[in-house]
Structure 1
Amino acid sequence: MGDKAKILTFQPLFIADCEEPQKELEKIAQDRKITPALLEVKLQEVFYFLKSEGKPHFEELKESELGFLEDEEFLSRPDVEIRQRFAIIIEPQKERKYSFSLRLGEDFRELFLTLHKGSQITYNAVFLEELFERVRAQKAIMRVLFRQEAKERERIASLLKELQNLPFLDKDYEILLAQSAGGGRCVEATLILHFQEDPALQGRFPTIKEEMLLATFLKPQKGGAGRDCLGNYIPPKEPSASAQNPLRIDESIEERDEGNKINYYAKESGYLLFEEYRLSITQKIEIEEVDIKTTGSLLGGLDAPTSVVVKENHYLKEALGDGAKIEAGEVEIAGNIGSGSEIRANRVTISGQTHQTSKIHAQSASIEAHKGWVEADEVKVMRLEAGIIRAQKVHIEHAHGGKVYAKEISIRFLHSNLQAFASEKIEIFEIMGEDNKFTLTPEANPKIQSRLATLLRSFEELSAALKTKIKKFNEEAKEIKALRPLATKIKAMIDLNRQEGVGTPAYLQEKLKSYINLLKYTQAHKEEIEKLQGERHALSEEILSLQAPTLASYIWSKNGWKGYNEVRFKLLLPPKDLFIAPKTSIHHGLLRLDEHQQSILNQKGVP
């Protein structure tokens, strides 16, 4: 006979007295040749036995004598010994939609209850009672001391109430169910470095915010006598006498004595320095190089007065290593920055070269040789080599290719293959090469680029919707015009028949009703069109206001045009794309739109 058949015929067994319920269950399972996991213990009663000074033998206690379980002073006596025995029922395991477990802490001072992920729980008296009784049975199996059960029941009820709106538990939920009686643990003098435990603060120079808790020194405390969750006596314990606080701080750290511990807080934001148990915060770091493996990234925050100076300047080495990041108020790098590196700062100065996959975000940036990507309010580049610049104002000494998007662009020496997009002006001092492409368009300004794209997309969608609705409206108007003579005739017939007391055929009344409904529908359609036209007009006004500076934009080559280059003026509303390839013998240095934006003017002089 298999387990399933045996369980179907298994009758619950009552065991009036036992010390270890799990052993009783396993013994019965072995006798009946049933898998133990198919059976469970149901607790019926707990019996207490006590031995203490003056009572050398264990004596069973009556219910009226169990008050000692609430007396922590009595439970902390070393002469007291407690045993428990149980009356139980062994019965078939029931199928349930939830599971739980109990866990004792490392030194048996705490007992934890965990409801497991995936469980389906219910917040009502029946479910609470079942779970509570199953917890009691598990406590008996673990030989936990039964005391303060009313509090345990309240804690379980509170957990169920908290989880009542979850159809299934999305994770394990654990609570403290019970704890030891008597004195607290012995606390050794311990220094806790919180910044070393935080994954976000790893690296040689972690970034600290003002008022952040950095470290805690736990003062040594004597452990009091007590009794753990299994009913075992806990003797008092003295901490090590030699333990001292090794931490040393400076004026950037605040020390707060809070009784049993000393907490250390950051007085200011900046970079944390920790070496040989000396703790301090600095706003400025000078370092040879920044590397992911050695220093880690330096993320000081733009809102903090932090400054980073990286001194490595060898032309074959990288001051800012591959993938490394710096975030600070000011960043100064004497050498090159590597692939995948990133800088975020208010002010950036790079005296070396940027890698083509590097990124820089700043308010102002000054770069010696640029091959990567930079976005700022103002950018100055000594040598642009196929890099990308997005800014309000850009000044380039030597432009060798690359792409520039800005409101204003100034180029000292223009070489070849540059693509420059500006919303207001481009000024060139000297053309040294050719095959450069220039575009004057409102979309070039990075600050309004996203807003313009949104406006244009909405404008196009509204225009398409209007086109469809106007077409439909015109079709309806044409139909109304064709039906009007018949509708007028039917209405006159109905009025005459009403005067003469004669009925009008139903099909004629339906025709007139359909005509009237068509009039109402067309009127509603007209109102929709007017609303959409109003919305489109508002969009066009905003687009035109953003486009307005480009109407007065210009490109000025101060020493005239040389070689083959292309100039475009591109407007958005109405769409317009005007092109010219300036010729040395024909075109003067200054090119701009005429007042009607119909052609490109070729002018002498200054803007």
Structure 2
Amino acid sequence: MGKVSSAIINTENVYGDLEVAAKASGVPVKDVDVDILAVHTKYMIGEGEIQSVEDLSIFDNDEFFLNPELHIEQSYRVRYYDKTVTEKTHLPKIAIASNKTLTKIRAKILADSEVRYTADLADELENAINRTLLKYGFLIGVRSNNLKNEVRRVASLIRVNGALIEDVIFDVAQGIEPLEPIDDAMIYHYKNKVENADDPNSSVLSVVSENETIIEYVKSKPGRNGRNLKGELIAVTEAKNENAVEIKTTEKIRKEEDDKSIRYIAISQGYVSDEGGVYDIKEKLEVNSVNLKTTGSIEAGLDSDVTINVTESDVLKDAIGPGMSIETSTLNVQGSVAEGASIKARSVTIGGLTHAKSAIESVDADIATHLGTLTCSGEAKIDRLEGGSVRARVVNVNVAVGGSITGEEVYINELNSNCTITAAKLVVINQLRGRDNRIIIDIMQTPEYAKNLKVYTDEKQTLGRELHKLKANLQDKLSLINSNTSSVGYVKKRIEELSATGTEAPASLLNKLKDYQSLVYEYNTIAKHYRTQKERYDEVIAILQKMQDMIFDSKVVNKGRWVELNDIKFELIEPRKSICYVTKENELARVITIRHLEIAGEHIYEIKKSNEMPQELL
């Protein structure tokens, strides 16, 4: 360039020739810039003839653009100029970004308070974007029909607002993203439901629901090549077909097929069984024992309708091994449960004994000899309790030799020594043979009662605090009303006198009367709310009293004679206190309750003994 400000040439390597032009003209390359004046596009299919393209929309046809033999070339007519001596329109900064596959280009034009509208602004913006595309090797004008409209929109924004007040982002060009092929796959969904499948202690069962897909063969699907905005083909591999196997099932599994997959679906709820390569849905599992070596833990789920029968009955062997866990709908164990075992089921039957360090949760349970921890939401039946713990709504124990029993109702055929029995409503003992037992009546052991008690107790406290504040507020407003009554009376009289003479009352008098009336209205509104809350407070007090009185219906029943040194305790709720009684040797008191007396305003609670058995317990 030298003494001239610019030079126009045709080139296929714009930025490579820029350095040559700068060197030839003696201008530092940093001072040389380029304008794209024209773009010449050619293409060829395979070894065919080279075709010049005037209308670039030919590349908008996906089928044509994806032809694997398509080759696109561009050359450019450009003007190199010395930007230190050539005036150019001030442009905002432009950032260009593409996705990983180079099939999408997006431009971000940054807000600029200095930019001003000119007639050639849109062209200059387009040229600036194309120069950046060219710098990174992208084709210009190919699949970028939206570019001209977007730069015109930006120019219009600048024209209207006098500047570019916020960033503008838009898509410049869009190639074709490749679609990866889908390889065929055999998916055993039921196995994926088993947690820690590689753990030898994990469950051997996979429980499925009705209409749940247990196995699925996903058919292969071919992919599709893509082409990026440099004109490069993005080839994908062929889809693989390597995993198809024959699946044999019973009538409890149905087969459904479409163009995407073959699905094997459970007709009913249960666990998936694979016996000799034939898949089935079963509801009953029978094993000799559950241990680390043979089965691992079994997690069938409480709502699975799966019954597990464990047949090991040898007292010297564990039917449920150490540390094993079982979760199922119904569990029947002929033998014993070892240390650290954990059982959750809706129904549990154990024919042997439970280890002291075992834990069982169920709705109902029937256990021969219990030394561990048992929690039931329904009924627990235990033939022999030896130091174990049981909590249930209703507890039936044949022989109790130490241990802890908690329930709403507790029935014991033979009670020996060192037991703690806590009941909400009733304890019935057929034969008492021991001492040092603790029998506690505490209605807080009824979960629903305890929950309701907390709700109403909390409400009582909340209402009490609110009533205290309301009462104080009422007293303050009443005092203010009373102190202003006489002066307001004068104001009313004065307003009436002025009105009678046709004179308008001063605003100060009217405002004073209005303030007084507002005060009275506020007082009446608060008083009404106070009465409503007080009524509810009295209702809650009555409910709590009724709940408290439930303890007077609770009973401790011993159908035989008492042995000495057995403690009986009734726990009052309000006031919170214990009423205790210690039995005497050979004492005959078949029914022990608590009663409430009020003497001279003093509340007295005392033990009441009777030999009249309730009809329902005879």
Q: TM-score, normalised by structure 1?
A: 0.66
The equivalences for 1:23-422 within 5 A come to 49-52=42-45, 55=48, 59=50, 61-64=52-55, 67=58, 70=61, 72=63, 75-76=66-67, 80-83=69-72, 102-104=99-101, 178-180=176-178, 185=181, 190-197=185-192, 202=197, 203-219=203-219, 231-232=232-233, 244-274=244-274, 277-290=277-290, 295=295, 297-312=297-312, 317=318, 319=320, 321-322=322-323, 324-333=324-333, 334-339=335-340, 341-343=342-344, 345-350=345-350, 351-356=352-357, 358-366=359-367, 368-422=369-423
How far residue 250 of structure 1 moved from its aligned partner, in angstroms, is 2.0
Call closer, same or farther: CA 1:73–1:571 in 2, change over 3 Å. Answer: same
2:484, 2:433 → 1: CA distance?
79
Call closer, same or farther: CA 1:541–1:406 in 2, change over 3 Å. Answer: farther
Q: Return the letter of the residue paired with 1:412.
A: N
How far residue 601 of structure 1 moved from its aligned partner, in angstroms, is 1.3
Call closer, same or farther: CA 1:279–1:388 in 2, change over 3 Å. Answer: same
Alignment partner of 1:435: what SS?
coil
Query: In the alignment, is the contact (CA less than 8 A) between 2:46 and 2:71 conserved in 1?
Result: no
Query: In the alignment, is the contact (CA less than 8 A) between 1:216 and 1:261 conserved in 2?
Result: yes
How far residue 425 of structure 1 moved from its aligned partner, in angstroms, is 0.9
1:228, 1:73 → 2: CA distance?
11
Query: In the alignment, is the contact (CA less than 8 A) between 1:49 and 1:61 conserved in 2?
Result: yes
Q: Return the letter of the residue paired with 1:372.
A: T
Call closer, same or farther: CA 1:15–1:401 in 2, change over 3 Å. Answer: farther
Give ranges in structure 1 of 5+ residues lacking alignment: 1-13, 35-41, 105-109, 115-129, 153-175
1:199, 1:177 → 2: CA distance?
44
Give the match for residue 433 of structure 1: 434
Query: In the alignment, is the contact (CA less than 8 A) between 2:391 and 2:406 conserved in 1?
Result: yes
Call closer, same or farther: CA 1:254–1:509 in 2, change over 3 Å. Answer: closer
Cα deviation code 1:561-603 (max 9, x no counterpart):
2132222333435766433223236561310134768432111
How far residue 330 of structure 1 moved from its aligned partner, in angstroms, is 0.7
2:340, 2:189 → 1: CA distance?
33
How far residue 332 of structure 1 moved from its aligned partner, in angstroms, is 2.0
Call closer, same or farther: CA 1:113–1:605 in 2, change over 3 Å. Answer: farther
Give the match for residue 443 of structure 2: 442
Give the match for residue 162 of structure 1: none
Query: In the alignment, is the contact (CA less than 8 A) between 1:302 and 1:327 conserved in 2?
Result: yes
Query: In the alignment, is the contact (CA less than 8 A) between 2:59 and 2:142 conserved in 1?
Result: no
1:189, 1:269 → 2: CA distance?
28
Query: In the alignment, is the contact (CA less than 8 A) between 2:289 and 2:318 conserved in 1?
Result: no
Percent identity among equivalent residues?
Answer: 18
Q: Return the letter of the residue paired with 1:384.
A: L
Alignment partner of 1:391: what SS?
strand
Alignment partner of 1:205: what SS?
coil
How far residue 404 of structure 1 moved from its aligned partner, in angstroms, is 3.2
Q: Return the letter of the residue paired with 2:255.
A: E
How far residue 426 of structure 1 moved from its aligned partner, in angstroms, is 0.4
1:100, 1:507 → 2: CA distance?
72
Query: In the alignment, is the contact (CA less than 8 A) between 2:205 and 2:300 conserved in 1?
Result: no
How far residue 212 of structure 1 moved from its aligned partner, in angstroms, is 1.7
Which has the higher Rg, Structure 1 or Structure 2? 2
Alignment partner of 1:599: what SS?
strand
Query: In the alignment, is the contact (CA less than 8 A) between 1:192 and 1:215 conserved in 2?
Result: yes
Q: Return the letter of the residue paired with 1:246.
A: E
Give the match for residue 606 of structure 1: 613
How far residue 427 of structure 1 moved from its aligned partner, in angstroms, is 0.6
2:408, 2:73 → 1: CA distance?
84
2:140, 2:318 → 1: CA distance?
67
1:18, 1:576 → 2: CA distance?
100
Give ranges in structure 2 of 5+ residues lacking alignment: 1-7, 23-27, 80-91, 107-124, 148-173, 198-202, 499-504, 598-603
1:113, 1:302 → 2: CA distance?
54
How far residue 217 of structure 1 moved from its aligned partner, in angstroms, is 2.1
Number of corresponding residues: 522
Query: In the alignment, is the contact (CA less than 8 A) between 2:298 and 2:325 conserved in 1?
Result: yes
Does 310-319 or 385-394 show the bigger shift?
310-319
Call closer, same or farther: CA 1:489–1:526 in 2, change over 3 Å. Answer: closer
Give the match for residue 578 of structure 1: 579
Alignment partner of 1:179: what SS?
coil
Query: In the alignment, is the contact (CA less than 8 A) between 1:399 and 1:411 conserved in 2?
Result: yes
Query: In the alignment, is the contact (CA less than 8 A) between 1:84 and 1:145 conserved in 2?
Result: no
Query: In the alignment, is the contact (CA less than 8 A) between 1:365 and 1:376 conserved in 2?
Result: no
Query: In the alignment, is the contact (CA less than 8 A) between 2:186 and 2:244 conserved in 1?
Result: no
Alignment partner of 2:455: what SS?
helix
1:431, 1:134 → 2: CA distance?
98
How far residue 558 of structure 1 moved from its aligned partner, in angstroms, is 1.7
Cα deviation code 1:402-446 (max 9, x no counterpart):
443322101123234433232221011223333332232332213
1:522, 1:255 → 2: CA distance?
76
Q: CA RMSD in A?
A: 5.6
Alignment partner of 2:584: what SS?
coil
How far residue 256 of structure 1 moved from its aligned partner, in angstroms, is 1.0
How far residue 282 of structure 1 moved from its aligned partner, in angstroms, is 1.6
How far residue 190 of structure 1 moved from its aligned partner, in angstroms, is 3.8
2:131, 2:195 → 1: CA distance?
42
Give the match for residue 458 of structure 1: 459
How far residue 64 of structure 1 moved from its aligned partner, in angstroms, is 2.4
Alignment partner of 1:390: what SS?
strand
2:73, 2:318 → 1: CA distance?
74
Q: Return the letter of the residue paired with 1:448.
A: Y
Query: In the alignment, is the contact (CA less than 8 A) between 1:349 and 1:366 conserved in 2?
Result: yes
Query: In the alignment, is the contact (CA less than 8 A) between 2:300 and 2:328 conserved in 1?
Result: yes
Alignment partner of 1:392: what SS?
strand
Alignment partner of 2:304: what SS?
coil
Q: Return the letter of the residue paired with 2:44.
A: K
Call closer, same or farther: CA 1:190–1:430 in 2, change over 3 Å. Answer: same
Does 362-371 or 65-74 show the bigger shift?
65-74
2:42, 2:216 → 1: CA distance?
44
Query: In the alignment, is the contact (CA less than 8 A) between 1:289 and 1:312 conserved in 2?
Result: yes
Does 442-451 or 506-515 show the bigger shift?
506-515
How far residue 262 of structure 1 moved from its aligned partner, in angstroms, is 1.4
Alignment partner of 2:99: what SS?
strand
Query: In the alignment, is the contact (CA less than 8 A) between 1:43 and 1:140 conserved in 2?
Result: no
How far residue 395 of structure 1 moved from its aligned partner, in angstroms, is 0.7
How far residue 255 of structure 1 moved from its aligned partner, in angstroms, is 0.9
2:554, 2:9 → 1: CA distance?
98
1:454, 1:408 → 2: CA distance?
24
